[in-house]
Amino acid sequence: MYISKLSIRNFRNFKNICLSFSKGVNTIIGENGSGKTNILQALRYLIDETMPRHIRFYESDFNRSIGDWRGHWIIIQLEFGDLDVSEEAQVLAMHKAGTMDELDSSKGSYSLILRPKDAKRRELYDYSQDTYKTQAGLKDILDYLTINDYELTFRGRGNGDFSDDDIYRDYVGDFENIVFPNPDEQENDVYGIRLYGVSLPNELSCTFIKALRDVEADLRSYKDNPLLNLLRGKEKTIDVAKKDDIIKKVDELNAEITELDEVKSVSQGISDSIRQAVGETYAPTIDIKSELPADMEKLLQSLKLWVGDPDEDGYQGKIWELSLGGANLIYLSLKLLEYEKVKSDNKIANFLLIEEPEAHIHTHIQKTLFQKLHSHNTQILITTHSTQISSVSRISTLNVLSRSKQQAVVFNPSNGLTPSQITGIERYLDAVRTNLLFAKGVLLVEGDAEQILIPALIKAVFGVTLDEIGLTLVNIGSTGFENIAILFHDDRVKKKCAILTDLDTSILPLPPQKDDESAEIKGCRNSQISGLTRKDKLDAFIDGNTWIEVFYAKYTFEVDFLQANNSYEIKLAIADEYKTKKTLDDIGSKLDDANVAVAGKEVLRLAQKFGKGWFAIMISENINHLTVLPDYIIKAIAFAFKDTSWQALIPMVSYRLKALAKSTFDGDKTDYKKILEEFSAIKEQDKALSYFVGQLPKDPISLLIKYMTHA
C-alpha cells in the first residue's frame, strides 16, 4: 500500500493542487516559501499517529486567494494504491464511480474535510432555493459564519475528486451562482464514509524527520529510538543456555558490586545518619545494592551505538560526538532498517517524511545517499531545495512547487512524456542543470560563450545577477533544445523558457550557387541553410506552446555582440595578446568596419584563435554598464522574466542611473543625476518606470520593459 495522490483544496498557500506519487522515493522540490512544509503538514494530519486527532484550524489556514473564506471547505485527500486484503486497508477501499455497491479493493481514499456544520450548510441550501436570492443576501448569511461553526471529519472510500472545479461547485457550493447542495443528501460515494472508531494513523508507521530534528535525543530515548525497536523481541530468540549464563554472570556481578567495601561504607554512613536523626525505633533499614538488569530484554535496551569517523581510524565514541549531519545519516539508516525488519510485521504501510535533509548533510553525501535510498516496504517523501538531491531524483517521481500570487502551484515534469523522453531528461539533469526546475524563468543556450558572457552582461548592464531576478541559464551543449524545452508545457512545468540560438545568416554575400565556389562561400551557404532548417524545426516545435519562445541571433553570438556596437570591449580584451601596435590597429580597423563581411569575419577569427569559451572570458573582464546588449538577448530576458515580480526593475533602474551619472558615452549631455532624483521621488512603481522609459526610451531597461509589456 502506498500513497498515489495527494490533493489539497483551500489549505494555506494551496488553493487547489494535486501531487502524484510512486512507490519508493518521491521528491518534492521548490523555492523557499513555496509550501513544502505545508505539504508535509497536510500529510501528517492524515497518516501521522503523533499528531492530535482533534486538530484545531484557524481562519488563517484558508487560502487567501479564495477571498472570503466563509462557506468554503478545506479538503485534504489521499489516494492509495495496492491495498492489501486486511480489514484495516479495506476500510479505505473506494467505491466504483456511481455506485455504493461495488468496491475497487486495490484502491483507497482517505480525506480530511473541514466544512460548516449541518445547520449552516442547510441555511445555505435553503437560501439557494430562494427565487429572489442575491449576492447581498448570501453575504449576509456568510458574514455570520465563524470558524466555530465548522466541523472536522475524516472519511474513507470517497471517489469525489475535489481538485476538479466542477466537483467542488456541485458538492461544496457554487458561490457565484448561489447554488449549494442539500445536506440531507449524504452522497457518501462522493464525500466518503465517515470513519467512526477507526484511526488510520494507528495502523500505519509514519516518521517525520524535520529539518532541524534533534536526532541525538531520539537515539537516546526509549520510545523513538529505532535501535531499541530493532532489538525488541530479540531476547526471545537467544539460546536458553546462553541466556542463563549471561543472567548468572549479571547476578554474580551485582553481588560483587554490592559487597565492595566502598559501597558498604556509604551504606553504613547513611544508616548511621538516619538513626541519629530519628532514633533506633523509627529508623528504616538501609542498604545499597547493585541492580544491573538480569532480564534479557532490559539488558538489550542498555545497548548503545558507538560510532567512529572514517578519518579517525581506530577511534569510536558516543553518538553525540558526531556532527549533526553524521547523526542524521545514522538515524535515517536505522529508521529504514526498522521499517524493513520490524514495523512491516504489524502495520499496513510504512512512510518516512523527510524535510530538507540538506540542512545537515554534506552535498556529496546527499547525492550518494538519496541515489541509494530505496526501500521495498517504505514509501519515502522528501522535500528539498537541494540541487544535489533533485539531480538524482527521477522526474517521474518529482513534484515541483512554485510560488504564485497568494497561492502555490504544482508541476509534474514527466506528465505526458514517453519513457525514452523521461530517461533522456534524467540523464541530462545534473546538479547544475536541475536549477531550471527551481527557477522562475529559464534561458537555454547552446554554447560556452553564451553561458559565460550573457550572465556577465546582465550583471554589468542591469546591475543584477540572474539569480536575483529568478532566472536560470542552462547551456544544453550538444543536446537538442527540444529534448529539454519539452519540460515547459501546459501539462508539465508552467514556466517561461527562452531559447537563444543562432540563425547563422551568411556574413558574406552569397552569389548564385556554383559548383566551383570557394570553400569559404560554401561554408557560409551551408551554415545559413542549417540555420534556416533549425529555425523551421524549432518554430514547429513551439507552435501552440505559450511557455516557450525562440530568440535568434541574426548571425552568431559573437558577430551579433560585435554588431551591437561592442568593438571597444573586444579590442580591450585582446590588447595584451598582441605585441605590436600595428597588429592591434589592423585588428581594430577590421572590427570597426561597417561591413559585416569584414568585421564579422575578424571576430570569428579571434574566437577561433582563442577558443570561444576563453574568448568570452576575455571579453567578460572588460564589459561595463555602457556595453550594449544585443536586442535578441533583451527580448529573451523579457520573455523569461515577464511572470516574475516587476519590483525587481526598480533597483535595476537605480543602478543604471547611478552608473550613467558617473560615466557615460562621449558627447552624451543627458543629466542622469537629475533623472535619478526625479525617479527616486516617485513612490508609485508603475509611474516611476513610465517616467524612466519616457526619459530614456532607448536604454536597455526601457527596451526590456517595452518587450515585457508587449510580449
Digit-coded pLDDT (tens) for 312-330: 555 554 544 445 455 666 6
Domain boundary among 275, 303, 331: 303
Question: Are residues 71 and 120 located together in one domain of the fold?
Answer: yes
Per DSSP, which regions of 436-508 are E strands?
441-445, 471-475, 496-502
Question: Are residues 621 and 706 located together in one domain of the fold?
Answer: no
Q: What is the mean pLDDT of residues 176-200?
A: 89
Residue 19 resides in a domain:
no
Question: Are residues 166 and 292 located together in one domain of the fold?
Answer: no
What's residue 680's pLDDT? 95
- Angle CA(284)–CA(286)–CA(289) in degrees, nearest 5? 150
Write the single-letter amino acid at 331.
Y
Question: Are residues 490 and 601 located together in one domain of the fold?
Answer: yes
Question: If pLDDT is split at 50, 70 and 90, which confidence band does 222 have?
Answer: low
By percentage, how much of the chain surpasses pLDDT 70? Answer: 84
Q: Helix 581-591 and helix 596-610: axis angle, to 10°?
A: 130
Residue 399 resides in a domain:
no
Question: Are residues 61 and 190 located together in one domain of the fold?
Answer: yes
Question: Are residues 135 and 246 located together in one domain of the fold?
Answer: no
Domain boundary among 303, 332, 350: 303
What's residue 321's pLDDT? 47
Residue 553 resides in a domain:
yes
Q: Which of 262-266, 386-390, 645-649 has the lowest mean pLDDT?
A: 386-390
Cα–Cα distance, 551 to 502 (Å, whole number): 8
Question: Are residues 576 and 518 located together in one domain of the fold?
Answer: yes
Residue 227 resides in a domain:
no
Mean pLDDT of the chain: 86
Question: Are residues 537 and 670 located together in one domain of the fold?
Answer: no
Q: What is the mean pLDDT of residues 126-150?
A: 96
* CA torsion through residues 262, 263, 266, 268, sign: negative
Question: Are residues 191 and 151 located together in one domain of the fold?
Answer: yes
Instruction: Sort strands 25-30 and 471-475 into parallel, antiparallel or unpaired.
Output: unpaired
CA dihedral 503, 504, 505, 510 (to 10 degrees): -150
Q: Is 152 left (phi over 0), alpha (psi -120 to 50) or beta?
A: beta
Q: How deeply is 367 buried, as exposed, middle or buried, from its count of CB atoms within 10 A (0-12, 13-18, 19+)? A: buried
- Domain that residue 247 falls in: 233-303
C-beta atoms surrounding 317 within 10 Å:
12
Question: Are residues 70 and 165 located together in one domain of the fold?
Answer: yes
Q: Which of 110, 6, 123, 126 is nearest to 71 (CA)?
A: 123
Q: How deeply is 494 buried, as exposed, middle or buried, from its count of CB atoms within 10 A (0-12, 13-18, 19+)? A: middle
Question: Are residues 194 and 85 located together in one domain of the fold?
Answer: yes
Q: How far apart, in Å, are the Cα atoms of 564 and each of 42, 567, 708? A: 53, 9, 21
pLDDT at residue 157 greater than cutoff 50: yes
What's residue 299's pLDDT? 66
pLDDT at residue 228 greater than cutoff 70: no
Q: Give the total number of structural domains in the chain.
A: 4
Q: What is the pTM of this model?
A: 0.81
What's residue 314's pLDDT? 58
DSSP 192-224: -EE-SS--GGGGEEEEEE-TT--HHHHHHSSSS
pLDDT tens sequence across 529-551: 999 999 999 999 999 999 999 99
CA dihedral 259, 260, 266, 269 (to 10 degrees): 60
Which spans in 477-580 are helix H?
481-485, 519-542, 557-563, 567-573
The DSSP H or E segment spanning 16 is strand 14-20
Q: Which of 32-36, 433-437, 460-464, 665-669 has the lowest mean pLDDT?
A: 433-437
* CA torsion through residues 99, 105, 107, 109, sign: positive
Q: Max alpha carbon distance in the chain (Å)?
A: 129
pLDDT at residue 524 greater than cutoff 90: yes
Residue 178 resides in a domain:
yes
Which spans in 72-225 are helix H?
87-90, 118-128, 135-143, 165-171, 188-191, 215-220
Residue 556 resides in a domain:
yes
Q: What is the mean pLDDT of residues 202-215?
A: 75
For residue 256, what is its C-alpha cell? 560483587
Residue 7 resides in a domain:
no
Q: Helix 363-372 and helix 324-341: axis angle, to 10°?
A: 10
Q: How far apart, in Å, are the Cα atoms of 505 and each of 251, 481, 508, 581? A: 93, 20, 9, 33
Cα–Cα distance, 708 to 76 (Å, whole number): 38
What's residue 245's pLDDT? 84
pLDDT tens sequence across 27-84: 899 888 889 999 999 999 999 988 887 899 999 999 999 999 999 999 999 999 998 8
Cα–Cα distance, 53 to 56 (Å, whole number): 9
Instruction: Sort strands 74-81 and 150-156 into parallel, antiparallel or unpaired.
Output: unpaired
What's residue 59's pLDDT? 95
Residue 366 resides in a domain:
no
Contact of 560 with 554, CB cutoff 8 Å? yes
Length of the chain (residues):
711
Write the single-letter amino acid at 365.
I
Question: If pLDDT is split at 50, 70 and 90, which confidence band does 497 have?
Answer: very high
Q: What is the mean pLDDT of residues 231-241?
A: 64
Cα–Cα distance, 449 to 454 (Å, whole number): 8
* CA torsion through residues 518, 519, 520, 526, sign: positive
What's residue 505's pLDDT? 96
By percentage, how much of the chain surpasses pLDDT 90? Answer: 55
Contact of 116 with 181, CB cutoff 8 Å? no
Question: Are residues 463 and 566 located together in one domain of the fold?
Answer: yes
Contact of 201 with 47, CB cutoff 8 Å? yes
What's residue 542's pLDDT? 97
